[in-house]
Amino acid sequence: MRTGVIVDNDLNDDKRVLREIEALSGAGFEIFVLCFAFSGKSYRETGGIKVTRIRISKGMKNVLFFFLNTIPAYGWLWSGKIKKFITGNDLDSLHVHDLYMSEAAYRGIRKSGKDIPMILDLHENYSYAVTTYNWTKGFLRSFITRPQKWQKKEERLLQYPKGIVVLSEEFRDHLLTKYKFLAATRFCAFPNVPDMIQLDDFKAKAVNVAFEKKDPVVFYFGVVAERRGIFNAIDAFAEVISKGYNADLVIVGPIDKKDRDRFFEMTGIPGIRSRVKYIPWIDLSELPAYLEASDICLAPFIRNPQHDSGVANKIFDYMSGKRPVIASDCLPQKRLIEKYECGLIFGNQREFVDAIIELLTNPELRHRMGENGYKAITSEYNLEMKKSGLISFYRELLNN
C-alpha cells in the first residue's frame, strides 16, 4: 500500500506525524511525504521515506495561510501540489493533517483522476482553536482571517475523508454528537503518546539542569500563555508561598508575545520573585533530567472545547518521568488522571492551591502517584501499544 502523507509544515519537527509514519512504515506501508521546506533551514534525511519538499519562506507561508478564508491561494497551491504528488508516486491513499487541509486534498485527489481514500488527521479542535489565536484577534485581523467561518466549514470538510484520526475518544464523541452523518467506524483515536525507546535514549544522556534545587520544585513545561492557565498557576503558587510553604516554581517554554509583560510582572512581585525560575527553551532530550529534578508537574489549561479535544503531550511526558500531575478538569486529562490515580484534578483556584499543598506536604503520595503514571505509560500509553490500533484502523478502512 503506497500512502501519501500531507503536512503543511517542515516534517522533521512534527513529532506526531513522525510517530504515525514510523508506525505505518513498520507495518509494511510504503510512505511518501509532501511537506514544506522553509528557506534557510537544512533537513536531515528520513530513512526509508521519500520526502517531497515545497521550498517556501516561513513568512510567505504565514501570509498565504492568513488570507486562506478571503483569498484561497494557499488552498490552490496545495491542491496543485497534491495532484502531482499523487500521480507522480502512484499513491493508493492519502493521510492529511489537519482540518483546514481537507478541501485542498480532496481537490487534489479529484484533479489526479484517481479515486483514492483520504484519512484526515485532526491535531486539535481547529474550528474552535483558531478563534483563540492572537493572529486572528482584533477588528482588521478578524475581518481578514474570518475565524468564525471555520465553524460553518467544518461540517463540509469532515465529509471528504473516509477515515478520521483524533486525539481522544472524547473528541470523537463530540463530533459524532455534532454531526449525525459521521459513524464511529470512521474514527481512530491516536493520542500523543511517547516513544519509550526514544525516552530511554534521552534518559541515558547526562544533562545539567539550569537551576539549583533547594526546596521541592513545581514544574511547568510548554507554551507560556494565558490560555494554557499559566497565570492561574502563578497565582496559586504565590498563595502557597504566602501560607509559609517552601517550594520553587520552574517554568520552561516560549512566552506568547501578548502575555510577556504580564508574565514578567507577575513573576517579579516580592515574595515569589526569588522562588520562580524561567527558562525560555530546552531541547526535548533534556526534559527527563528536568523531570528528575522536579517534584510536582502542572497542566493548568483553561477548560474550553480545544482543551477538551485531547490529552496534551506534556501530561504523558510528566507521567513518563514518574511525577504526579496537577491538572485542570479538561475532560480527556481528567479521565486519564483519575483512572490511573496519577495526580490531582482541580476545578477552581481554591482547589488548585489545595492540590499543590497536598502534594508538597505528602512525599509518599507524590511517589505513589508518580509510579502509577509511569505504569500507565509503560503498559498502555506509549507508541508501541497505541500504534496497533492505528494500523488495524488503516487496514480495515483501506480494504473496505
| 390 and 331 both lie in a single domain | no
Residue 194: closest CA among 97, 284, 328, 298 = 284
Per-residue pLDDT of 303-361, as tens digits, reads 988 888 889 889 999 999 999 999 999 999 999 999 999 999 999 999 999 999 999 99
The residue-averaged pLDDT of 230-238 equals: 97
| 111 and 186 both lie in a single domain | yes
Per-residue pLDDT of 373-389, as tens digits, reads 999 999 999 988 899 99
pLDDT at 399: 85
Give yes or no for residue 161 having a pLDDT over 80. yes
| 210 and 294 both lie in a single domain | yes
| 109 and 32 both lie in a single domain | yes
The residue-averaged pLDDT of 263-278 equals: 95
What would the grid cell of residue 104 be?
485542498
Distance between CA atoms of residues 325 and 341, nearest Å? 10
Inter-residue contact 195 to 19 (CB < 8 Å): yes
| 154 and 139 both lie in a single domain | yes
Residue 91: closest CA among 4, 5, 164 = 4
Which residue range forms the structural domain that includes residue 111? 2-193+383-399
11-20, 163-172, 233-242, range with the lowest pLDDT? 11-20
| 167 and 207 both lie in a single domain | no
Query: Based on the number of CB atoms within 10 Å of its own CB, is 152 exposed (0-12), middle (13-18) or buried (19 or more)?
Result: exposed
pLDDT classification of 362: cutoffs 50, 70, 90: very high
Distance between CA atoms of residues 247 and 239, nearest Å? 12
| 184 and 201 both lie in a single domain | no
What would the grid cell of residue 201 be?
535514549
pLDDT classification of 201: cutoffs 50, 70, 90: confident
Q: What percent of the chain has pLDDT over 90?
A: 82
Distance between CA atoms of residues 1 and 54, nearest Å? 24
Beta-carbon contacts of 66 under 8 Å, excluding residues fewer than 6 positions away, are 135, 144, 145
Distances (CA, A) of 114 to 85, 110, 171: 12, 7, 31
pLDDT at 132: 87
Q: How many CB atoms lie within 10 A of CB 276?
A: 20
pLDDT at 44: 77
Per-residue pLDDT of 37-69, as tens digits, reads 998 888 877 777 899 999 999 999 999 999 999
| 327 and 276 both lie in a single domain | yes
Total domains, the chain: 2
Give yes or no for residue 83 having a pLDDT over 80. yes
Per-residue pLDDT of 24-43, as tens digits, reads 999 999 999 999 999 888 88
The residue-averaged pLDDT of 177-185 equals: 95
The residue-averaged pLDDT of 86-111 equals: 97
What would the grid cell of residue 34 be?
509532501
Distance between CA atoms of residues 264 and 6, nearest Å? 39
DSSP state, 32? E
| 268 and 388 both lie in a single domain | no
The number of CA neighbours under 13 Å toward the Cβ of 49 is 28
The residue-averaged pLDDT of 213-235 equals: 95
| 89 and 201 both lie in a single domain | no
pLDDT at 315: 95
| 84 and 227 both lie in a single domain | no
Beta-carbon contacts of 264 under 8 Å, excluding residues fewer than 6 positions away, are none
Query: Based on the number of CB atoms within 10 Å of its own CB, is 95 exposed (0-12), middle (13-18) or buried (19 or more)?
Result: buried
What would the grid cell of residue 305 be?
472545547
pLDDT at 241: 97
Element (H, E) at 50: strand 50-56
Give yes or no for residue 299 having a pLDDT over 90. yes
Top-confidence range, 83-97, 125-139, 383-397: 83-97
| 221 and 189 both lie in a single domain | no
**Domain at 297, CATH number:** 3.40.50.2000
pLDDT at 10: 87
- 3-class SS shares of the chain: helix, strand, coil, % to 5: 50, 15, 30
Distance between CA atoms of residues 117 and 88, nearest Å? 17
Give pTM, 2 decimals: 0.88
Residue whose entry in the numeric block shows the C-alpha cell 505528602: 362
Residue 122: closest CA among 74, 81, 174, 76 = 174
Q: Greatest CA separation found in the chain?
A: 70
pLDDT at 284: 87
Distance between CA atoms of residues 119 and 105, nearest Å? 10
pLDDT classification of 206: cutoffs 50, 70, 90: confident
The dihedral built from the CA positions of residue 353, 358, 363 and 365, taken in this order, carries a sign that is: negative
Residue whose entry in the numeric block shows the C-alpha cell 477552581: 348
What would the grid cell of residue 171 be?
473528541
Three-state DSSP class for residue 325: strand
Distance between CA atoms of residues 332 and 325, nearest Å? 14
pLDDT at 207: 87
Residue 192: closest CA among 19, 47, 336, 380 = 19
pLDDT at 358: 98
pLDDT at 88: 96
